[in-house]
Copies of this chain bind each other. A is one copy, B any other.
Amino acid sequence: MVSVLSIKQLMEPGSIAVIGASRNPSKLGAIILRNLVNLGFNGRIYPVNPNASEIMGLKAYPSVNAIPGDVDLAVIAVPAPQVPEVMRDCAEKRVKGAVIISSGFKDAGEQGMWIEEEVAEIARKAGIRVFGPNTTGLLNTSRRLATTFVPLPQLRQGDVSIIAQTGLFAGAMLEWLATSQKFGISKVIGLGNKCDVDDAEALEYLGDDQDTRVILMYVEGVRDGRRFIEAARRVIKRKPIIVLKSGRTEAGAKAALSHTGSLTGSSRIFNAVCKQLGLIQAVSFEEMVDLAKAFTFLPLPRGGRVAIASITGAGCVLAADACTEYGLKVAQLSSKSLEIIQSNLPPWTKASHPIDLEPLVENMPKAVEAYRLTFNVALSDENVDCMLAVLLAAHENWRNTRFWVSDEELRETFIEIRREHPGKPVAIHLIGGKQAVDRWSEILEEARIPVYPSVERCAKILAALISYAKTREASIRS
């Protein structure tokens, strides 16, 4: 009987063998090696290739057995039919874990399924933990570890971790996050066909991981429903779990079967489980990113009463609709708050809530002062739990107007607002020209205020924060 190693040990390997490393830069094995070198993995890297003595300046070995030192993790990128032999070598070498990148297993029909079972059996007997096959495997920003075949940019370290049954996330999605988002990643666990490590075990690991505060999951099918539910029930008390489930329809389920060989199960049951446990369901990767941003940047609100301010009247109306439709309650501002707003308005305009920012901007010396006043008044109001605002990203082209705000004013003001009101989440929708919207988004999100391309998406994330706050409160009480 071999003892079963925990995922934790494999996420922090001291040495990695890349089996199928290639000198041809377009081969998967070459990209995996390049990523490890470029990210600056702080352990030993051993390329394995019977036809090369050196790759990317590293000494290459004909087989994993020929490597002189210990090998903690083997990354396998050779065609499926060769994998059983490679796994036997790994067993002999007493490798601790393996990531099988290659596809052509359970995802490719019956013959592949037999190969997968053979490989899993060899690994099990030798006590080798396996990720995959058919996966991009592992990523750990604190160790500069990545086993993906997608060329990676430098990654921002953060507290969002991802469990994905697909290479998409550990691959192109990571590239998207790295180049478009201001939040950082801690770990990624690619599961692929899940011949050994599955969703439940990955979830248990991330639940205990000190560097992880928000968990994202892309799920086609759950392998062990009971264990998954137990893990989720335990973890959700401490960390939000955002789940994107695919294979929700018959056509989707059929596609999932040929993607990762997954049986997707009943959507109705999955939805009911999510609802009961308080898992946060996303309908797309886009929404998953919306939610990740909200949960990593923002505090959990104490209730669902939302303050609304908008630079356009239409924004006030649309935001009030969206908040109501997502189950938030448009706050009743205190009379004191309304009096302060009124005292800064021209006499012919009456203060009301939602707050129309336009007349305030017209009446005050600087637009940024109108914003500062409004956010401070609304967020100090004891009838307000959170806030949604629509601002005009006014950049160079607006320089000669009252709406113009400099980068410095914007940054200082919103850092201050966030600091002064640490317990109340704020979501912002920006209107204006693309360049200005991009620039303002960058500044606001560096201040940990998330920006969304519609008031509907602002309302949706606020509703998710509120819902999770309730889940957590209930779990503490119980």
Contacts and interface: CB of A to CB of B under 8 A. Distances in A.
Interface of A: 25-26, 31, 80, 104, 107-109, 111-112, 151, 153, 164-169, 171-173, 175-176, 178-180, 218, 220, 246-252, 254-256, 258-260, 283-287, 312-325, 330, 348-350, 352, 354, 356, 392, 397-398, 400-402, 431-435, 437, 453-457
Nearest to A328: B251
Nearest to A322: B284
Contacts of A108: 348-350
A247 B397 CA distance: 32
A248 B31 contact: no
Given A320-B255, A401-B31, A456-B283, A176 B431 contact: yes
Summarize A's interface: helix, strand, loop or mixed: helix
Contacts of A259: 313-314, 316-317, 356
Nearest to A256: B317
Contact of A252 (B250, B312, B321, B402): B321
Contact of A318 (B176, B252, B254): B252
A419 to B, nearest CB: 29
Contact of A401 (B26, B256, B325, B431): B26
Contact of A104 (B173, B258, B330, B348): B348
A25 B400 contact: yes
Q: Give the copy number.
A: 2
Contacts of A178: 433
A431 B455 CA distance: 24
Nearest to A402: B26
B179 A321 contact: no
B166 A312 contact: yes
A317 to B, nearest CB: 4
A330 B251 CA distance: 7
A320 to B, nearest CB: 4
Contacts of A111: 348
A173 B431 contact: yes
Which has the most chain B C-beta neighbours within 10 Å: A112, A165, A349?
A349
A285 B390 CA distance: 13
Nearest to A267: B321
Greatest chain B CB density within 10 A among A248, A255, A398, A400 is at A255
Given A176-B433, A247-B317, A252-B318, 13 more contacts: A26-B401, A31-B401, A111-B348, A112-B348, A153-B397, A165-B314, A220-B317, A249-B325, A251-B323, A252-B320, A252-B324, A284-B318, A284-B456
